Structure 1
């Protein structure tokens, strides 16, 4: 890329907004997108009865959202860099809100599936750009703390999702899962337009070929990974999707290396911090969320609890990030992001391993609650520092694409973790008896713990001092040499 193409336009004068308003403008949409996916997962039994949905329909109520969400994160971030991040963010909010209304009005399975797919497209614009707009809107001295509070808001969505979903399953009308998004979405649009400033990345030209190759490649790969446990990893369908998707992603990277105005500048990966923090993101999401996928079913399948009771019992894990993530943001610069990430991954791996070793058909909740809390503290220590390092290890004009890459890798890790651990579960056990479920759960969760532990080892190689703590001239040198 030439020097002219690299140079960003003169930055407009930024408005000074109270931190609380900025956090509301980016946090409410993040909370809405996070909460919606988890609520739907736990409300599936009610939706199945009301719509007469099949097991395949239930899977697509979840996958129809997950696939476009994961596939278009990078595309949305790249478009935001070129046409305006706030504009793209608001467009995503509007699409998500309208799709929520369509989902609430659904009377047949195919209608809900279609609405969920459009929700995923809208969410793909909200997730990466929320963090980028937050970083742009707050002073450097407040950025780490602000990212920590934003991580706590994300943790709130994770924490209350299973509980709200359980309450819906136990008597509320499932349509309200989606109707609630409509007034919240309208409020979020007004806040974004009022509080946030417009910003763009360094590149100005669109990369149509890159957009198509990245989105199609990610869609096929994640679809293949999601289908793998059910259809078989060696089935023609799964292999075709994985091979075709991998070929498209390889072509995308080759094109980015040649394109003078790439949507994903490969120079970002010259930063050791950026490359390693994304590797940790992959192992963290694969091991943690793959384990959660199975553990969330344990209380209902093996111990016969209601969805609401099961959701309440997971709160020591799911609620801890809501408390710990803001603290990690407040003290991250003082303690060091590397230390927080390593400690978080160590706690998370230990908590998951404890659960995997202790779980049995007759295990008491008291035997697991401290392991759940340990895992939750580990997740809370990880959320904010990972985002902080990902943004701090690139130049300001690259924050949008950096956030898109980090979010894409996280979603790919979730899909891969669920698929791999579900395959291990199926190889050693199943749903036929309580003992069979535990026989499959234990090795799968132990593997999840080992995946997270591998991320802890990778975290040790992160730089001791983050770029955001360096003077501007020195930071630029780190970008080009680290």
Structure 2
């Protein structure tokens, strides 16, 4: 019976690290696709004769259909089994990747990316939920260190891999590469990931509808505002989205059914504050990749591969330090690690944006890039471990779903808001210039007369992400020690006595 052990840990496999490795294959793939498109955007724009707004939608469509279903897919994993839902997500994602590569218009690519996002939504909550189920609380920091390494490195490796594939084979291959990876992921999941105890849930369909309408209206309004000169109906759409999201929160608090988002989760201070931190990180990372890559290629004249190599210090330092930070996190106050990471990442972004001029040498961009990677090691895994460590097992799926929804909502709002600011600043800094159309050429350096204005617009867009990181930093200052770190301070005799009485 599910209730006999309360929140006590029950081992479900004697090979948890092998299971984690299998889960990381699919998780790595879907996170790479959040940023792999960024470096190929100028080439996709030329190849499919797309507008700047259309290109931004290639990212936002994926993030939007990723974000909206996450709340229910986390619960779905609890109900029918996280392993089954994870495998279904891999199938959907892999087939959608094939469709993306075969798309011959920007509209078709945006739709295919939307289906990809649905597959990602099925996969993500299951990875966090299963980590909570296969590792005891005192080892979850190390496990989340691996998970965080995958999250951080995938987000940063995406542009590098995208640059190499785009230059060597064409932009289509940033999607075709997912097909063999997806097949390997399915085989490993079938053989290494355990089936775990399920928990019955009733789905809050009204909550699903309210959250979906609210998010879609908000994102569409923010992203398309500049295209429609911020007319009254755009503001109405944004306002309507906010109203629907407010109604969603009210409904979740009042419904007598099982809510889609158990507001009781937020009674855990660390869960609530970690959600603020990861939303800020999602906003900054996903949104800022667009102006960074446009600056490097269209102002700096770099090829996709060369522009991606500017991100190498980020990927390397995150990969080296994330596992180390994960092990340290089991023993130190999470506030010390997370606050330093969020502040460092925001400062590095501001530094990078400040250097956005046509005269800046490449080596000078590598230093803030490295600082961003070092800071990332103190953000991805520590936030995830801190958010979920003290949650009872039967809320693992719901907690993972809410946490990942918060991250992806931050990402989609960031991509929309930074994309909108980017277009607004282009209109102000380079009036009369038409960046939506070119002569069918692949991405080439802009004429010298417009480079300064274009570089300023890209830098101003990145500053927005840096500012949002400060919100996450402030929230992280109020984190508290997780429950397991308080155990060593308790005298040994009472612990033994409590064990016997239990």
With normalisation by structure 2, the TM-score equals 0.84
Aligned partner of 1:228 in structure 2 is 225
Number of matched residues? 467
| Post-superposition offset of 1:121 | 0.5
Preserved CA contact (<8 Å) 2:139 2:330:
no
| Post-superposition offset of 1:386 | 0.5
Quick check: 1:457 aligned with 2:438?
A: no
Aligned partner of 1:429 in structure 2 is 429
| Post-superposition offset of 1:322 | 2.1
Alignment root-mean-square deviation, CA = 2.9
Deviations 1:87-140 (A, max 9, x none): 221111111112122333334444433322111100111122212112212233
Deviations 1:35-54 (A, max 9, x none): 22322332234444555555
Preserved CA contact (<8 Å) 1:203 1:261:
no
Alpha-carbon distance change, 459 to 55 in structure 1, aligned in 2, over 3 angstroms: closer
Quick check: 1:14 aligned with 2:12?
A: yes
Preserved CA contact (<8 Å) 2:222 2:420:
no
* Among 182, 186, 191, the residue aligned to 2:183: 186
Alpha-carbon distance change, 354 to 47 in structure 1, aligned in 2, over 3 angstroms: closer
CA distance in 1, matches of 2:416, 2:61: 16
CA distance in 1, matches of 2:263, 2:91: 32
Preserved CA contact (<8 Å) 1:81 1:199:
no
Preserved CA contact (<8 Å) 1:44 1:58:
yes
Aligned partner of 1:403 in structure 2 is 400
Superposition pairs of residues 50-89 of structure 1, within 5 angstroms:
50-51=47-48, 53=50, 55=52, 57-89=54-86
Unaligned runs of 5+ in 1: 475-482
Aligned partner of 2:298 in structure 1 is 301
DSSP 3-state at the match of 1:231: coil
Preserved CA contact (<8 Å) 1:128 1:407:
yes
Aligned partner of 2:272 in structure 1 is 275
CA distance in 2, matches of 1:436, 1:136: 52
* Among 237, 243, 256, the residue aligned to 1:241: 237
DSSP 3-state at the match of 1:170: helix
Alpha-carbon distance change, 85 to 60 in structure 1, aligned in 2, over 3 angstroms: same
CA distance in 2, matches of 1:160, 1:289: 13
**371-380 or 408-417: bigger deviation:** 408-417
CA distance in 1, matches of 2:102, 2:386: 42
Aligned partner of 1:439 in structure 2 is 456
Alpha-carbon distance change, 440 to 108 in structure 1, aligned in 2, over 3 angstroms: closer
Preserved CA contact (<8 Å) 2:223 2:417:
no
* Among 356, 363, 367, the residue aligned to 1:366: 363
Superposition pairs of residues 176-215 of structure 1, within 5 angstroms:
176-199=173-196, 202-215=199-212
DSSP 3-state at the match of 2:103: coil
| Post-superposition offset of 1:343 | 0.9
Unaligned runs of 5+ in 2: 436-448, 491-502
CA distance in 2, matches of 1:105, 1:300: 25
**269-278 or 444-453: bigger deviation:** 444-453
* Among 341, 352, 362, the residue aligned to 1:344: 341
Quick check: 1:335 aligned with 2:332?
A: yes
Superposition pairs of residues 456-475 of structure 1, within 5 angstroms:
456-463=473-480, 465-470=481-486
Preserved CA contact (<8 Å) 1:5 1:203:
no
Deviations 1:42-93 (A, max 9, x none): 2234444555555554344333322211222112112222222222211111
DSSP 3-state at the match of 2:87: helix
Alpha-carbon distance change, 370 to 415 in structure 1, aligned in 2, over 3 angstroms: same
Preserved CA contact (<8 Å) 2:214 2:243:
yes
Aligned partner of 1:480 in structure 2 is none
